[in-house]
Amino acid sequence: MNGALLGKTVIVTGASSGIGKETARELAKAGARVTLICRPGPKAEAALEELARDVGGENVELLGADLSQMESIRSCAAQFKKTHDRLDVLVNNAGVYLSERQVTPEGLEKTFATNHVAYFLLTNLLLDLLKSSAASRVVCVASEAERWGKIDFDDLQCEKRYGGMKAYAQSKLANIMFTYELARRLTGTGVTANCLHPGVVRTGWGTTSNLLFRIGIALYRPFMISPRQGAKTSIYLASSPDVETVTGKYFFKSRQIHSIPSSYDAETARKLWEVSEHITGNS
């Protein structure tokens, strides 16, 4: 893959660790200029330093943003557009699992805000660059947790009943339905949109959750794959010529698979899009 992305501009969100960092590393090795969008702090700075040593400082840069907050996302997108005139690949990767309900300063449930609203808002804010850079790609990291998800328009923010897996599964199903709807809306633009399940990966996911959940993760950890293995499908969708014109699909182990039947409900996807526009004020 060396040189396959030479001259391309790429964004990877949540790239300070895990799948995101490995995705950024491999895409930069392939010649891309990669912007890491991460929460500001020592972890993000350490990731930038590590990747710069590995792939060359000219190939990676850091933009700080709290992806649970819309104001921060808008500021980050504006900053990127000031310094870049193209965007070839956007990898929406950042995500959280929270065992206890938390609310952002903007009043959104934090899992929904980080895992869905951030994908929706950042992508839409950068769509003009993606379109002008076509053929270009949007890659959304989802999860097989979509199997247990339901888009509950009566309780999107989990105010009536909160469960960590309930909120997470809903957000991951939302990732898939957003991707399918985005692909429909981008027909004829030269911009593709695909999503993926990375596998069950050894990352920091869930390590800030309650004790019982952390114990479960620890017991299952020996059976998990490495972040490098987990990043393979993201890298494939971001760079392979095999999927240059493929859009609106769901992948696992770099192969197309089917998501749950409800994920293909175009009317629900359209409504989720409209609700997301209302939440973000981006229409």
Domain at 32, CATH number: 3.40.50.720
Number of compact structural domains in the chain: 1
Tokens of 152: 């509950």
Tokens of 256: 């197309």
Q: CA-based diameter of the chain, in Å?
A: 51
Count Cβ atoms within 10 A of the Cβ of residue 127 and give its class: 0-12 exposed, 13-18 middle, 19 or more buried.
Answer: buried
Q: Per-residue confidence of the chain (283 residues) as pLDDT tens digits?
A: 667 899 999 999 999 999 999 999 999 999 999 999 999 999 999 999 999 999 988 999 999 999 999 999 999 999 999 999 999 999 999 999 999 999 999 999 999 999 999 999 999 999 999 999 999 999 999 999 999 999 999 999 999 999 999 999 999 999 999 999 999 999 999 999 999 999 875 555 445 555 554 444 454 445 566 878 999 999 999 999 999 999 999 999 999 999 999 999 999 999 999 999 999 998 6
Q: So what's the pLDDT on residue 212?
A: 52
Inside any domain, residue 4: no
In single-letter form, the type of residue at position 275 comes to V
Q: So what's the pLDDT on residue 221?
A: 47
Inside any domain, residue 2: no
> Where does the chain show beta strands of DSSP type E?
9-13, 33-38, 60-64, 89-92, 136-141, 191-197, 250-252, 255-257
| DSSP β-ladder status, 136-141 and 9-13 | unpaired
pTM given for the model: 0.92
Q: So what's the pLDDT on residue 57?
A: 87
Inside any domain, residue 3: no
Inside any domain, residue 115: yes
250 is an active site residue:
no
In single-letter form, the type of residue at position 152 comes to D
Range of the domain at 138: 9-280
How many other CB atoms are found less than 10 A from the CB of residue 212?
A: 9
d(CA 16, CA 84): 21
- Residue 91: how many CA atoms within 13 Å on its side-chain side? 36
Taking alpha carbons only, the member of 175, 22, 19, 26 closest to residue 8 is 26
Q: Which of 168, 180, 236, 250 is catalytic?
A: 168
Q: So what's the pLDDT on residue 208?
A: 52
Q: Assess contact for 25 and 55: CB atoms under 8 A.
A: yes
